[in-house]
Amino acid sequence: MTATAPTDVRHGPTEPGGDGTGQGDSVALAGFGYRQELHRSMGRYASFAAGFSFISVLTTVFQFFAFGFSFGGAAFFWTWPAVLVGQLLVAACFAELAARYPLSGAIYQWSTRLSTPAFGWFAGWIMVIGQMVVVAAAALALQVVLPAIWSGFQLVGGDPAPTSVSGAANAAVLAVILLALTTAVNLVDNRVMSLINRVGVTAEIIGAVLIVVLLFTHAERGPGVTLHTGGQGGAIGALLVGSFTAAYVLIGFDSAGELSEETRSPRRTAPRTILLALTAAGVLGGLLLLGGILAAPSLTDGRLGTDGLSYVLTSTLGDGVGRLLLADVALAIAVATLAIQTSGSRMLFSMARDGVLPAARPLAKVSPRTGMPTGPALVVGVVAAALCLLNLASPEAFLAIGTTCIAMLYLAYAMVTGPMLIGRLRGTYSARAGEEETDEAGRPLFSLGRWGLPVNALACVYGLAMAVNLAWPRAAVYDPAGGHWYFQWFTVLFLLVTVGLGALWRVLRTRR
């Protein structure tokens, strides 16, 4: 169904009832110009699981811990709370929007309603391309844990380090296999997808708590060690690069908003699960970082900066317990890849049903039997697999892919918080304009109230500053071996190509 996005930037239609059957949710969706096609079967925990599994602290902390430590030393831990506070500001803005616009393709839908259709389109375009890159980066994380569990998972070559030639190639092979599995799940049924998410998130939370407890009970040093950088370069520069770890982990909390059309009582559920998923992941991830630093056998032998937390677990807790916990990490990686692919496919679907993408008609189709948009799931899976194959070209591709996706998501987030801030200053957006509205429980919609303007302003400044920090073409970060200028400039070039292709398509579409 093609629909024209409403132009009212203040608030959406009033929810006509929260009877638990989903009928009121469907009527509310019709008020935005869309009919209910996705199956609305997700409850509160499933919504939380969608956001938490995208963040997936076990996946991303294990994937980027070594990188953060190699640059910032033990002091890189302090970049975690700093990034968490910044992201909570962004999440608070998103929670307010999720209550007013409970729609799939949240970033695209929110930006469009807060600004113009053209600006919102570019926000959605950058976001969906970024999500595809995130899927690839998450799938590549299997290389960090599977060979450490069993050497038989090293299918290519003998060196499992992700920065080695054979490790990078093996990462690509494992990632493509995983993407084939997650794509199949995304074609089955959203109830199956939701069940896998819930089970995976539960196992991840239990595993993360267990790892934290074991690390702290095997601490080799006190927390004072985190006051020393000991990484590469000067203290400030090292910590700016070290913040990449937290920046990469603490994204994707908007997934609860992305799945609003599949969530029961989304006006009440999505805002709370957005904030809860980020808070829970932030606390657990911070404890994992600190526990790994305190329990590492050595901070100076170089292994913490190459092998990361996998080395800490197996060397400190023993092969048996360490490998069992790494198996839980592998499960978390698989579930995170599934969740991110699901989120990306909903963004494609949302834009396609508005008729603003190439091949919009097939991409907007939803299977009546499964309630899943099959075309978008296939596109996201295939593109992500193709990006994973870049790892065959060079080990540096792993970091280029990882940082590119973070920068793109941060930019897309800023394309929501920026227009939201302008709307507040101009008086065209006001959360108080919707105070007469209620959620499905009959309570006022989530609102930042008088804190809206300062929170929004800080969120916008933080997001833009972090996007610049991530995309800055540092040779020491993106091309440490030298001779690969395209990796040094990969993030900037990828973003320019993404925007350029989008602009070209819009121009050709307008001429037609």
- What DSSP line would sit under 487-505, residue for residue? HHTHHHHHHHHHHHHHHHH
pLDDT for the residue numbered 215: 94
Predicted pLDDT of residue 436: 62
Return the structure tokens found at 422: 């302008």
CB-based contact 71:241 (threshold 8 Å):
yes
Sign of the Cα torsion 303, 306, 312, 318 reads: negative
Contacts 24+ apart (CB under 8 A), 193-198: 193/338, 193/342, 193/372, 194/41, 194/42, 194/46, 194/49, 194/262, 196/335, 196/338, 197/46, 197/49, 197/50, 197/53, 197/335, 197/338, 197/339, 198/45, 198/46, 198/49
Per-residue pLDDT, 395? 73
**Residues sharing a CB contact under 8 Å with residue 218, sequence separation 6 or more, in sequence order:** 295, 316, 317
What span, in angstroms and rounded, lies between the C-alpha atoms of 204 and 161?
24
Cα–Cα distance, 250 to 55 (Å, whole number): 6
Q: Pull the structure tokens for residue 230.
A: 């000991």
Per-residue model confidence (pLDDT) at position 22: 59
**pLDDT by position in tens, the chain (length 512):** 334 444 333 333 333 344 444 578 888 899 999 999 998 989 999 999 999 999 989 888 888 898 889 888 899 999 999 999 999 999 999 999 999 999 999 999 999 999 999 999 999 999 999 999 999 989 998 998 899 888 899 998 888 877 788 888 999 999 999 999 999 999 988 888 889 999 999 999 999 999 999 999 999 999 999 987 666 656 787 788 889 999 989 999 999 999 999 999 999 999 999 999 999 999 999 999 999 999 999 888 888 888 888 889 888 888 788 888 889 989 999 999 999 999 999 999 999 999 999 999 999 999 988 889 999 999 999 999 999 988 887 777 777 777 888 899 999 999 999 999 999 999 988 765 555 678 888 889 999 999 999 999 999 999 999 999 998 888 878 877 777 788 889 889 999 999 999 999 999 888 87
pLDDT score recorded for residue 231: 60
Burial class (CB in 10 A: 0-12, 13-18, 19+), 309: buried
Structure confidence at residue 477 (pLDDT) = 80
Are the C-beta atoms of 377 and 43 separated by less than 8 Å? no
